[in-house]
Amino acid sequence: MEMEVSKTGRKHKQARVSQTEESRQGSKRLSTSKILEVAFWGTIIWGLIRLMAHFLNMTPYGVGAFARPFISIEDENTFASLCLGAIVLFVETVVASFVFSLLFSRIRAWWLGLVYGAVMLVIAGFFFHIGNWEVATLSTEGAWYLTFGLFIGMTIMLEQSDENHAWNESTR
């Protein structure tokens, strides 16, 4: 009888230790390869959405607008600016994904991506003179940045949750 109690006590103690280890590992950072993967697919998907919105005249800012620090506004619609803009969008997505995982790695709330997208809209609006935008441009850019932030936020949270779950399963 006494032996059974001590075995049960050890199991409970191991369970408490593993929960403590899980909480420590819950704050484990997302790997660089996952951040690059999120940035790659974010660039592809949201670059195509931006190209389509620009083609349909919903916004004056195409993918080439991301290359504005390196080119003039008149050259924004050339193939070279489109390629350079895609590269700049990829770098910005890598940075945005890394910053999101750094700041919000411990918080599990789906709406943080929307807040993050709104912050990115304000930053972009500062550089592109948001005060001069028409309502149609503001709504298109707002929708683009909010969904872009939501994509980054939810994907980073999901990937981090999957990695933590896989790590916890492998240690048991």
CA dist., res. 87 & res. 100, Å (int): 20
pLDDT recorded at residue 17: 42
pLDDT recorded at residue 105: 74
CA dist., res. 64 & res. 82, Å (int): 4
What is 32-86 written as a DSSP string? HHHHHHHHHHHHHHHHHHHHHHHHTTS-S--GGGGGTTTS-GGGTTSHHHHHHHH
pLDDT recorded at residue 74: 76
Cα-Cα-Cα-Cα dihedral sign, residues 51, 120, 89, 74: positive
Q: Which two tokens stand for residue 152?
A: 């980054």
pLDDT recorded at residue 88: 94
Neighbours of 133 (CB within 10 A): 18
CA dist., res. 90 & res. 102, Å (int): 18
Asked whether the beta carbons of 61 and 81 are under 8 A apart, the reply is: no
Which residue reads 């959405």 in tokens? 49
pLDDT recorded at residue 166: 64
**Of the candidates 119, 63, 128, the residue with the CA atom closest to the CA atom of residue 96:** 119
Q: Is 129 helix (H, G, I), strand (E, B) or coil?
A: coil
In a structure prediction context, what are the per-residue pLDDT tens digits for the chain, which is 172 residues long? 555 555 555 554 454 444 444 444 444 566 888 899 999 999 999 999 999 999 999 988 889 888 888 887 777 888 889 999 999 999 999 999 999 989 887 788 888 999 999 999 999 888 888 888 899 999 999 999 999 999 999 988 888 777 766 666 666 6
pLDDT recorded at residue 77: 81
pLDDT recorded at residue 115: 93
